[in-house]
Amino acid sequence: MPNHMPHVDPQMGFTPYTSPIPVQLQEIYSYPQNLQTALEMIEEAVQGEGEDRVFYQHLISMAPSEQDKEIIRGIRDDEVKHAELFRQIYSQLTGRLLPYPEDVSVKPPASYCDGLKKAITGEQSAVERYRRILYAMENRIHVNMMTEIITDELRHGILYNYLYAKNNCRV
């Protein structure tokens, strides 16, 4: 009878049949080893959400229709909510309050379409960063909060893609 036990292939760095993720990459999924990095990323996220809020104000002022403005206002309001959720998670994990970002200034986009393009890539980048924060969460409530933030960011990307297409923006 053949031996069906998985083996470790040292050149691959993982057990092929039981661990599809290379050992060196598994570290990002480990709690509490990645908690400190996640806390630093939350600090950056609060600042980033503040910058997004200001950037989206620029987009609202450039939007050609009331429908576009309403969509972007909804996204902007979500960014404010995200900053509060991040601050709450941070406070519950550390016992310290994160200050609100002060004197946030963001250069307006050259055009509405340029702004939409930047917003699309920004939302995609946020999902990638926030996923790493999610990996460090142990408390179910924090996991749920991060899931809400990430799914909002995915929805924002879809909405910005819609606006990009609706306004005949070109790559």
- pTM (2 decimals)? 0.81
Backbone angles phi, psi at 9, to 5 degrees: -100, 105
Measured CA to CA, the distance from residue 46 to residue 14 in angstroms comes to 36
Is the pLDDT assigned to residue 9 strictly greater than 90? no
Element holding 36 (H helix, E strand) = helix 35-62
Q: Please give the single-letter amino acid code of residue 39.
A: L
Identify the CA nearest to 72 among candidates 83, 56, 58, 61. Answer: 56
Range with the poorest average pLDDT among 21-30, 76-85, 90-99, 160-169: 21-30
Measured CA to CA, the distance from residue 84 to residue 72 in angstroms comes to 19
CB-based contacts of 8: which residues, under 8 Å, 6+ apart? 14, 15
DSSP, res 165? H
Residues 59-88 pLDDT 10s: 999 999 999 999 999 999 999 999 999 999
Mean pLDDT for 14-28 is 57
CATH of the domain spanning 32-166: 1.20.1260.10
Domain boundaries, the chain: 32-166
